[in-house]
Amino acid sequence: MENGLKLDIETLSQKLASRELTSQALVEAALERINELNPRLNAFISVAADQALAQAKTVDLAFQSGKILPTLAGLPIAVKDVLTTKDTTTTAGSKMLSNYRPTYDAESVRRLKNQQAIVIGKTNCDEFAMGSSGEYSSFGPTRNPWDLERVTGGSSSGSAAAVAAGLCAAALGTDTGGSVRQPAAFTNLVGLKPTYGRVSRRGLIAMTSSTDTVGILARTVRDAAYLLQAIAGHDPRDATSADSAVPDYTQSLHASRLRVTLGVPTEYWPEGMDKEVAACVDQAIKVISGFGVDVVQVSLPHTAASLPTYYLINPAEVSSNLARYDGIRYGQSVLTSDYQGDLGAVMEQTRATGFGPEVKRRIMLGTFALSRGYADRYYLRAQRIRTLVRQDFDNAFSQVDYLLAPTAPDVAWPIGEIVDPLTMYLADINLTAVSLAGLPALSLPCGFVRNLPVGLQIIARPFDEAGLLGLAYQYEQTSHWTDRTLELAE
């Protein structure tokens, strides 16, 4: 089934329902493509070939018996390896969990399976989702299908590479400080970060609990809408899950009610930004202005403060969340039957060998920011400035309905180019404020610079994913950037 995975979800679903195509053929094509391309991309950490084929057969039998199945039924979907999957290894991109087999599916995964979507495999990512390039994985860097010598962006690197290269129909990622939006921008995909609480975090291996979200990487806006529909909604087993109603997201794509005001935050074109990327995003905003909407300049004055704020709150929560990897309960451990050391030694040695350098840096930075004598100066101040960052957005959204900005200040950089951890953090300049405020945002393909994809970021009010997708859809229908597919080992 040549190139079938480049079709959109609705088309694939129709072909399955009309039995022009079988799920088995689709899954076999995906597995074949993974076999062929994964050695070069390093997008998948594990592939669930047998389970996927077995599920595909079940779906095909249901279609043959005339059953009407959900839109995602029979479609191969990839899942970032920080979301737990029952009885299949879930590593979080870390040596620490290289043999960890969860006993339950993440709620988002469970909901996908409820729709009879097929989890084809688990995708590579920066270790415990800490990174902006996909290079900090214990399983090696993911390579960008648009240029194999470049990063995919991170931390949902494998999900982005897998969708962009047509190894699956769509993928789940996670976005804590930009980890879905940035790789989407670098690989010409739609990357949706829902409102904090819109999708259950149950089974998302915790990194920064106050900003962790489950997000979506898809080739089109409509595909993203279908996935969000499947995974959104209240989960009583996640205390931070929102119990507000879930609208019909695909329905919102037909609405032509663009009587909205759009804001362009001046701070999101930072000094040192790539000029061609800036021009590319400016051009996209010009196209959107032509929809008859009002576009005004707005200011988010605490944008510069948002990055240091995020890089205090994130490590603080990381240091707390990752304390559970103690060599006693699960995951890698130095503890053997004849181990001679005491409890402190088990912890120190297990964590020394199980965690990579970036995880260690963040644990130590967070421990420092929370330690006696420094907590007020660092952690508490960051929490106070987080309030100011949120107020910036509240003020902006009292004047405008959506904000438009570049997703990233540059295109994907060569693998190995950024070696300094702080320089890596600076790549998140346009991403972390949205996470601190818990807002929904989407990165949308808006052009190419030096043959590499550029993303336009649209930011919305809490729980306005429908409007966000609607606006993105209007632009997508005009621009057709998402139609551009890459030629990789065809």
Partner 1 sequence: MSLTEGQVEKIAHLSRLGLTGAEPAEFQVELDTIVDFVDKLEPYDSSSVPPSNQVTGRTNVFRPDQTEPCPDAADLIKQSPHRDRYSVPSVRTLWKTA
**CB nearer to partner 1: pick between 186 and 463:** 463
200 binds partner 1 (CB under 8 A): no
Query: β-strands 76-80, 294-298: how paired?
Result: unpaired
Q: Closest distance between partner 1 and the C-beta of residue 337, in Å?
A: 7
381 binds partner 1 (CB under 8 A): yes
Q: Closest distance between partner 1 and the C-beta of residue 433, in Å?
A: 12
**Counting Cβ atoms within 10 Å, is residue 381 exposed (0-12), middle (13-18) or buried (19+)?**
middle
**CB nearer to partner 1: pick between 353 and 478:** 353
**CB nearer to partner 1: pick between 62 and 335:** 335
Judged by CB under 8 A, the stretch of 45-53, 232-240, 273-281, 480-488 that binds partner 1 is 232-240
Residue 360: active-site member:
no
**CB nearer to partner 1: pick between 240 and 395:** 240
Candidate list 80, 95, 113, 122, residue with the active-site label: 80
Give the whole-angstrom CA distance, residue 356 versus residue 354. 7
Among positions 31, 72, 189, 347, the unique one binding partner 1 when judged by CB under 8 A: 347
Residue of 405, 150, 428, 154 lying closest to 278 (CA atoms): 405
Give the whole-angstrom CA distance, residue 147 versus residue 143. 8
Report in angstroms the alpha-carbon separations of 170 from 50, 223, 403, 481: 20, 7, 26, 17
DSSP 266: G
CA-based torsion, 58, 123, 454, 249: positive or negative: positive
Residue 26, both tokens:
């689709």
Residue of 214, 266, 211, 278 lying closest to 392 (CA atoms): 266
246 binds partner 1 (CB under 8 A): no
Q: Closest distance between partner 1 and the C-beta of residue 261, in Å?
A: 24
Written as one letter, the residue type at 476 is E
Written as one letter, the residue type at 142 is T
Binding positions for partner 1, 81-140, rule CB under 8 A: 100-101, 103-104
Candidate list 133, 155, 333, 443, residue with the active-site label: 155
Residue of 93, 98, 235, 113 lying closest to 173 (CA atoms): 93
Among positions 146, 196, 226, 268, the unique one binding partner 1 when judged by CB under 8 A: 196
Number of chain residues interacting with partner 1 (CB under 8 A): 71
Binding positions for partner 1, 283-312, rule CB under 8 A: 302, 304-305, 308-309, 311-312
Residue 275: active-site member:
no
Candidate list 179, 200, 333, 479, residue with the active-site label: 179
Q: Closest distance between partner 1 and the C-beta of residue 432, in Å?
A: 13
Asked whether the bond before 156 is cis by omega within 30 degrees of 0, the reply is: no
- Binding track over 134-173 against partner 1, x by CB under 8 A: ----------------------------------------
- Binding track over 396-425 against partner 1, x by CB under 8 A: ------------------------xxx--x
Q: Closest distance between partner 1 and the C-beta of residue 278, in Å?
A: 24
61 binds partner 1 (CB under 8 A): no
Instruction: Give Cβ neighbours of residue 35 (< 8 Å, ≥ 6 apart).
Output: none
Among positions 49, 53, 293, 345, the unique one binding partner 1 when judged by CB under 8 A: 345
Written as one letter, the residue type at 3 is N
Binding positions for partner 1, 430-489, rule CB under 8 A: 436-438, 462
Q: Closest distance between partner 1 and the C-beta of residue 151, in Å?
A: 20
3-state helix, strand, coil in the chain (%, to 5): 40, 15, 45
Residue 46, both tokens:
């594990």
187 binds partner 1 (CB under 8 A): no
458 φ, ψ to 5°? Answer: -115, 130
Residue by residue, DSSP assigns 42-84 as --EEEE-HHHHHHHHHHHHHHHHTT----TTTT-EEEEETTB-
**CB nearer to partner 1: pick between 87 and 248:** 87
Judged by CB under 8 A, the stretch of 27-35, 42-50, 321-329, 468-476 that binds partner 1 is 321-329
DSSP 483: G
Q: Is 364 helix (H, G, I), strand (E, B) or coil?
A: helix
Q: Closest distance between partner 1 and the C-beta of residue 233, in Å?
A: 15
Q: Closest distance between partner 1 and the C-beta of residue 106, in Å?
A: 15
Give the whole-angstrom CA distance, residue 16 versus residue 367. 52
Give the whole-angstrom CA distance, residue 157 versus residue 142. 6
65 binds partner 1 (CB under 8 A): no
Helix or strand run (H / E) with residue 308: helix 303-321
Q: Closest distance between partner 1 and the C-beta of residue 240, in Å?
A: 6
Among positions 49, 287, 388, 486, the unique one binding partner 1 when judged by CB under 8 A: 388
* 371 CB neighbour count, 10 Å cutoff: 12
**CB nearer to partner 1: pick between 15 and 181:** 181
Residue 209: active-site member:
no
Residues catalogued as catalytic: 80, 155, 179
